Amino acid sequence: MAQEIDVELVHVTKRFGDLTAVNDISFQVPRGSFFSILGPSGCGKTTTLKTIAGFEEPDEGDVYIGGERMNNVPPNHRPVNMVFQQLALFPLMTVFDNVAFGLKMARVPKSERKERVERVLEQVGLKGLGDRKPGQLSGGQQQRVAIARCLVLNPTVLLLDEPLGALDLKLREQMKIQLKQLQHQVGTTFIYITHDQSEALVMSDRVAVMNAGRLLQVGAPDELYTNPQDPFVAAFVGENNDIQGTVTGLHGDHVTLDVGPFQIAAPVHPQMTVGSRFHNFIRPEKMVLLPPDTGRTEPTNQVPGLIQDVIFDGAVARAIVELTGGQQVMVLVTRTSDAPLPVRGEAVRVAWEPRDAHCFPLE
């Protein structure tokens, strides 16, 4: 059976004067999934979410929720609720009354209200705190009140606009995991906006990567990480090293890239011709450090360099290496009991297999 689709955007464009904030975007959000929209500040994330919620009307294209076309349906008649970055809790009302507010407006009878509010407070981990005022809660707890206030209305889709933005780093880390668990538990479709790639990777079933109003790639976190389709996605999702060069030879299963101070082998891209310029991305964990005088011929690419810095992080360390010619790359060093960590100033060879790189034309 085909997967049911809760939200679909079809060629949606939104302009503000001369600026095209959202440029011909199409995607589908499967029912019950955690779907993130990831991109840098100003790329059009909030505007996209607002076209789903109905706070903005697209200039072109269509928005469908639960299979129904939503164009010109006002926000309060759409089966969605939006959690804004600014929480806007009522400070003088109790947590219980904050959460019950929407139900009261909808004239849900008092006994049912009580039951639903108590159930949702338990779901978000705020059981027993209903009598407090928002000011008597931590930042993370207030955030959960804001989410509870939306969830209690049983929306088909919950829209969350950078809801963790105001929290400090440690709390964000906790809330990431809690939000993911909450979504799994209640089964409501979440569309979640963030500019933080690690947040998107940890929480989402699928991620849509945006830049400058355009949707570049939609996929599972693992797919975006291992198989980026665009240089922006390669650079933005996870850590990556970009060694750029000019194609000097086409050899069937690989090419030669002239980087300036050295030459490397790289995978073939259909647009490659001799003389064309290309990005060549290699993940830090796909590179290894070898001694400078190694007799090894594997991995294929071996470039001399000097250790600039070693960033220790428990089980792994990141070595910053300056390659011949001056470019810096990051190499992930997994600790094994017998091998000491590299030290600053040490001469090394940075080595990797060409097939582990991703090439894209340089604009």
Ligand X SMILES: Nc1ncnc2c1ncn2[C@@H]1O[C@H](COP(=O)(O)OP(=O)(O)OP(=O)(O)O)[C@@H](O)[C@H]1O
Rule CB under 6 A: is residue 16 a binding residue for ligand X? yes
Q: What's the closest the beta carbon of residue 106 comes to ligand X, in angstroms?
A: 29
DSSP secondary structure code for residue 42 in this structure: T
Point out which span in 2-10, 41-49, 113-121, 328-336 binds Mg ion (CB under 5 A): 41-49
- Closer residue to ligand X in complex, CB, 230/346: 230
- Closer residue to ligand X in complex, CB, 182/208: 208
Q: Which of 8, 12, 33, 46 binds ligand X (CB under 6 A)?
A: 46
Residue 42's binding partner among ligand X, Mg ion, none (Cβ under 5 to 8 angstroms by kind) is ligand X
Cα–Cα dist 200/190, whole Å: 12
Per the CB < 8 A criterion, the answer to whether 207 and 36 are in contact is yes
Q: Which of 12, 21, 126, 216 binds ligand X (CB under 6 A)?
A: 21
Rule CB under 6 A: is residue 200 a binding residue for ligand X? no
- DSSP states of 167-218: S-HHHHHHHHHHHHHHHHHH--EEEEEES-HHHHHHH-SEEEEEETTEEEEE
Q: Which of 30, 42, 79, 267 binds ligand X (CB under 6 A)?
A: 42
* H or E element, residue 97: helix 95-105
- Closer residue to ligand X in complex, CB, 43/259: 43
Rule CB under 6 A: is residue 44 a binding residue for ligand X? yes
Rule CB under 6 A: is residue 195 a binding residue for ligand X? yes
Q: What's the closest the beta carbon of residue 203 comes to ligand X, in angstroms?
A: 17
Burial class (CB in 10 A: 0-12, 13-18, 19+), 45: buried
* Residues contacting 70, CB < 8 A, separation 6+: 52, 54, 62, 63, 64, 78
Rule CB under 5 A: is residue 98 a binding residue for Mg ion? no
C-alpha 308: how far from chain center: 30
Q: Quote the tokens at residue 265.
A: 């082998």
Q: Quote the tokens at residue 213.
A: 């109003």
Peptide bond into 109 cis (omega under 30): no
User: How many residues lie near ligand X (CB under 6 A)?
Assistant: 12
Q: What's the closest the beta carbon of residue 195 comes to Mg ion, in angstroms?
A: 8
- Strands 19-30, 5-16: pairing is antiparallel
Residue 21's binding partner among ligand X, Mg ion, none (Cβ under 5 to 8 angstroms by kind) is ligand X
Rule CB under 5 A: is residue 204 a binding residue for Mg ion? no
Task: Report residue 299: phi and psi, to 5°.
Answer: -60, 165
Q: Which of 33, 46, 183, 302 binds Mg ion (CB under 5 A)?
A: 46
- Closer residue to ligand X in complex, CB, 201/323: 201
- Closer residue to ligand X in complex, CB, 17/295: 17
* H or E element, residue 355: none
Q: Quote the tokens at residue 233.
A: 């996605």
Q: What's the closest the beta carbon of residue 83 comes to ligand X, in angstroms?
A: 14
Q: What's the closest the beta carbon of residue 49 comes to ligand X, in angstroms?
A: 8
Rule CB under 6 A: is residue 201 a binding residue for ligand X? no
Query: What are the distances in angstroms from CA 40 to CA 28, 193, 194, 214, 259?
Result: 21, 11, 8, 12, 29
Q: What's the closest the beta carbon of residue 195 comes to ligand X, in angstroms?
A: 5
Q: Which of 43, 117, 182, 257 binds ligand X (CB under 6 A)?
A: 43
Point out which span in 45-53, 137-145, 253-261, 308-316 binds ligand X (CB under 6 A): 45-53
Rule CB under 6 A: is residue 58 a binding residue for ligand X? no
Helix (H, G, I), strand (E, B) or coil at 60: strand
- Closer residue to Mg ion in complex, CB, 46/51: 46
The residues binding ligand X (CB under 6 A) are 16, 19, 21, 39, 41-47, 195
